[in-house]
Amino acid sequence: MKIAVSGKGGTGKTLIAGTLARLFAQDGYKVLAIDNDSSILTYILYVYILIIH
């Protein structure tokens, strides 16, 4: 399955994508998330995912 989240800035795309990735990972799916934004938010979300699993 492939999911892409796009839109204009400031609409919560990273939060939505990170939440979806976390939920899929919790359900046992293998997840690869790629963020082209220079913000560190996605990295922080995925470190959190790795810590809780």
Flag whether 4 is in a domain: no
Domain count, the chain: 1
Flag whether 19 is in a domain: yes
Flag whether 21 is in a domain: yes
pLDDT, tens digit, 9 for 90 and up, residues 29-39:
988 877 776 66
Flag whether 33 is in a domain: yes
- Domain boundaries, position 22: 13-52
State if pTM tops 0.75. no
Q: How much is the mean pLDDT over the chain?
A: 75
Flag whether 42 is in a domain: yes
Flag whether 36 is in a domain: yes
Q: Report DSSP letters for 1-53, one per residue.
A: -------STTSSHHHHHHHHHHHHHHTT--------SS-SHHHHHHHHHHHH-
Flag whether 18 is in a domain: yes
Flag whether 40 is in a domain: yes
